[in-house]
Amino acid sequence: MFTDADMDRADWDFLQNGAVTLFWNPAVLGAAKEDLRQLGYEVAEVACDNGLPNFLMQLSEALHWREQFGYGPWRGNLDALNDGFGEYPFANTGRSVLALEGFHGLVSIDRDFAHGVLDIIESRARYHLLLGKVLICLVQTDDNRYYCAPIGCRSANWNRREWLHAARGL
């Protein structure tokens, strides 16, 4: 079972309310990524604020799209993305972090599409837990008022350090 020490680990904080956690301050995100690396997590970073084609290419690379499906890059179909996350390329530790940086850029292109991406990640992360693997998604947005409707039947929450409005400059 779990001990008190387990609940003090950095990954516990990111998994207790679901696999997707929001960040506003890039420095806070950087500290979270480093904490998770120290626990043996492999970190893949995807920029979301350089246009849709760039996002599709980077996420395709993170998911090893060509190796999974024999073609690439991913073209933006959310059903296909769901399949791609079903075989997430975990490191040997079985622990991975997907950092979506500049998520406000993707939201500004297509809010529903951006929400669909997070919904898939949340759902598939729960599926991978059943297989003994951990997928955490850290989402950085410059929009300190960003609200994400429930995903994977859960809501995305702000990280502990930026939970209060004042910590996000509001």
**CA dihedral defined by 22, 43, 161, 112, rounded to 10 degrees?**
0
- Provide the residue type at 46 as one letter: V
What pLDDT is recorded for position 6?
A: 65
Q: Residue 141: enclosing H or E segment and its boundaries? A: none
Give percent of the chain above pLDDT 90: 76
pLDDT in tens, 7-61: 778 888 888 888 999 999 999 999 999 999 999 999 999 999 999 999 999 999 9
Distance CA 110, CA 151 (A): 16
Are 83 and 120 a contacting pair, CB within 8 Å?
no
Residue 90, Cα to own-chain centre: how many angstroms?
14
Point out the least confidently predicted range of 75-79, 90-94, 155-159. 155-159
